[in-house]
Amino acid sequence: MKLVRYGHPGKEKPGLIDESGNIRDLSGVIDDFTAGQLSDTALARIAAMNHASLPLVSGNPRLGVPVAHVGKYIAIGINYIEHAKEANMRLPKEPIVFMKAVTCLCGATDNIILPKDSKKSDWEIELGVIIGRKAQYITEEEALDHVAGYCVANDLSEREFQIERGTQWDKGKGCDTFGPVGPWLVTRDEVPDPQNLDMYLDVNGVRMQTGNTRTMIFSVAKIVSYLSHFMTLLPGDIIATGTPPGVGMGREPQLFLKPGDNVRAGIAGLSEQNQDVIAWSRTQEVPAPP
């Protein structure tokens, strides 16, 4: 299934994408896609319904983050060999873990707002993993059973904040709108092999990143298991699993986002994001955290 939350920021309703690509409203069935609606049992109940009988959503509504009340947004750095090379970093022996503020989360077509005083805002297409079941000290063999589904994620990063203003990556990773997720959650039964997904990202129609999740240094199963030994993963937590090569920081000359740019990012089977880049202003409305 492809599960969505549609509507104005802070007022999203739950829905799903039917076989014809239309949005069907689920608000008469569940209140929202919160932690309790991400278990295998809850998802199986929705899957068993007659989707054609659900109310059809008209028009082309905004799609927000596909899960509500996200507790943690965890990210993995330097998880593709060629990206490590372009970043001039050694291959990690264990996953590099950092956090993105949940206030950075936004929908797949919301504007990317460059933070105040930004000089080096960059892009990173990533496979997003959404946890569906509490995970503590689990094995790699168990790990994927704890995943509700997958999504497109863009780990936007302000490189000057991240690298040149101390050693704390979080400062460059958690800016408002720097965590577009979606447009929808694709349940894990529709992604039999998360280690064989093509990925791409374009800026202004020019291909910047091309990759495949098979070139990850640490697999999704490894990441989920590894994280569960350092923190409890809860339903609704999101994990961004690293980016392939082609980021702006790694280009010669370096290239960074500016107001007026357009970013398209997609993953095979998980759909595509399409966002315009705008400058920060005091009057600019920022999407409410999901």
- What distance in Å separates the CA atoms of residue 151 and residue 237, rounded to the nearest whole number? 12
Write down the pLDDT at residue 290. 78
Q: Which burial class, exposed, middle or buried, applies to 283 when counting CB atoms under 10 A from its CB (0-12, 13-18, 19+)?
A: exposed
Could you tell me the residue ranges of all domains in the chain? 70-279
- Helical residues (DSSP H) of 115-231, grouped into ranges: 140-143, 159, 170-173, 220-228
Least confidently predicted of 37-51, 63-77, 103-117, 273-287: 273-287
- What distance in Å separates the CA atoms of residue 288 and residue 124, rounded to the nearest whole number? 22
What is the signed CA dihedral for 81, 223, 147, 18, rounded to 10 degrees? -20
Query: Which sign, positive or negative, has the C-alpha torsion 268, 154, 222, 211?
Result: positive
Whether the per-residue pLDDT at 285 is higher than 80: the answer is: no
- Which class does domain 70-279 fall in? alpha beta
Q: What is the mean pLDDT of residues 20-43?
A: 97
Segments of the chain assigned E as strands: 2-6, 13-17, 23-25, 73-77, 96-99, 105-106, 112-114, 121-122, 125-131, 147-154, 157-158, 179-180, 185-187, 198-203, 206-212, 238-240, 262-267, 271-279
Whether the per-residue pLDDT at 80 is higher than 90: the answer is: yes
Write down the pLDDT at residue 168. 75
Least confidently predicted of 83-87, 136-140, 179-183, 217-221: 83-87
Write down the pLDDT at residue 81. 86
**Under 8 Å CB-to-CB from 129, ≥6 apart: which residues?**
147, 150, 194, 220, 223, 224, 238, 239, 240, 241
Write down the pLDDT at residue 284. 74
